[in-house]
Amino acid sequence: MRLGLFAMPLHRPEKPYAQALAEDREMILLADRLGFDEAWIGEHFTSKVEQIPSAMLFFASLISETSQIRFGTGVVNLPHHHPGIVAAEAAMFDQLSGGRLMLGVGPGGLISDAEFFGETDMAARNRIALAHVQAVKALWAADGVFEIESNGLTMTNASTHWPRHGLGLLPKPMQQPHPPFAMAMVSARSGAAAVCAEHDFLPISANFISEADVIEQWRTYAEARSALGKPADPAVWRLARNILVTETDGEAQAIIDDPDGDFAFYFRYLRSLRNMDELEAMRDEPAAAMNARLGVADAIRDCVIAGSASTVLARLIDLADRAGPFGTLLMAGQDWDGGDRWQSSMQRLAEVVAPKLSQHLETLPRPA
């Protein structure tokens, strides 16, 4: 089992932007020092809470300061981008990083981003995202004159293909035929599971859905792979959870019970995105009242694994026994307010919990 990090990232909106970015950088640097295999960072344009508009630009500042960790975009929201720019920038990043890019893609889920870019139809964004993936692949594979279309865009070098002068040639990634693509699955019977199965994307189970939904996602993915005559290899499965490893169970429980603690803030923000009008009317009410209205306690119960190292290990083993083996455990990154608890949690997870969990996963039966 490999260990990774997935951060949207989320910060308190009052935190200075430069401070938030500095903390996010240090989180990845610490993960690299602790031997984490990969790190994923989200892309959002119009939220002060999760404001990294370019994961690749952010990661580029870390290439020379890290030694082995792989970088995943989590995700590039393709309907908000020209596919030619994505292809060129991703190829350059893959070259700069020595082939460490994993290209997570998606339709974009943040409603304010959708409004900002003028594409509020989710079905249309799903269609555009898949079309742009094919266009990016075609651009990377193109050799010579090309004309590639995607969602009404035509990309061609028909009149400027002059190889002798280096014109009409797009950058190519270091990884061949291309860096691995990935997609997050955010519901139990997620359509993304079937997309991952069909297109050989790395499937990522989101950290903000219940364990029952995570298990159902893998079943959906495996069924889709079987229908296509393809194997469902658990090694490609990224399973994300909100994990906090503390010195004692009591310490973790105090954070869980805090109505404005790390987890309460995290899920209150996420659940408010689909209840904006209702929450605006409650903006002056205490955090506990908002939590109750949004079912934050249920989200924490379903999505958080917190406690001492032995408690966290036991819960992860129980999840693995029910879900089956998986290739990578992704720890959700949190805001670093509150001392060094998240740094300590990352260290305990990497050095105490992960090795034992990996040993247990080796004992689980693999699909035929």
Note the pLDDT tens digit of each residue in 48-80: 999 999 999 999 999 999 999 999 999 999 999
Tokens for 352, please give them.
């105490």
Q: Are residues 91 and 170 in the same domain?
A: yes
Nearest to 307 by CA among 357, 350, 254, 264: 254
Q: Which CATH number goes with the domain that contains 107?
A: 3.20.20.30
Q: Are residues 55 and 164 in the same domain?
A: yes
Q: Are residues 301 and 338 in the same domain?
A: no
Q: Which residues of the chain have pLDDT under 70?
A: 368
* Residue whose entry in the numeric block shows the structure tokens 């599971």: 193
> Looking at residue 368, what is its pLDDT?
66
Considering the chain, what is the average pLDDT of its residues? 96
Strand, coil or helix: what is 72? Answer: strand
Tokens for 275, please give them.
């209840």
Nearest to 104 by CA among 211, 249, 206: 206
Q: Are residues 264 and 118 in the same domain?
A: no
Q: Are residues 144 and 235 in the same domain?
A: yes
Domain membership of residue 182 as a residue range: 2-239+325-363
* Structural domain includes residue 9: yes
- Parallel/antiparallel/unpaired status of strands 101-106 and 147-150: unpaired
Domain termination residue (choose one: 264, 281, 307): 307
Q: Are residues 98 and 11 in the same domain?
A: yes
Q: Are residues 255 and 338 in the same domain?
A: no
Phi-psi region for residue 200, left (φ > 0), alpha (ψ -120 to 50) or beta?
left
Q: Are residues 124 and 36 in the same domain?
A: yes
Note the pLDDT tens digit of each residue in 166-196: 999 999 999 999 999 999 999 888 899 999 9
Q: Are residues 270 and 153 in the same domain?
A: no
* Structural domain includes residue 318: no
Amino acid letter, residue 61: S
Q: Are residues 157 and 298 in the same domain?
A: no
Q: Are residues 219 and 299 in the same domain?
A: no
**Number of compact structural domains in the chain:** 2
> With the CA atoms of 73, 299, 32 and 14 taken in that order, what torsion angle do they form, in degrees rounded to the nearest 10?
80
> Looking at residue 275, what is its pLDDT?
78
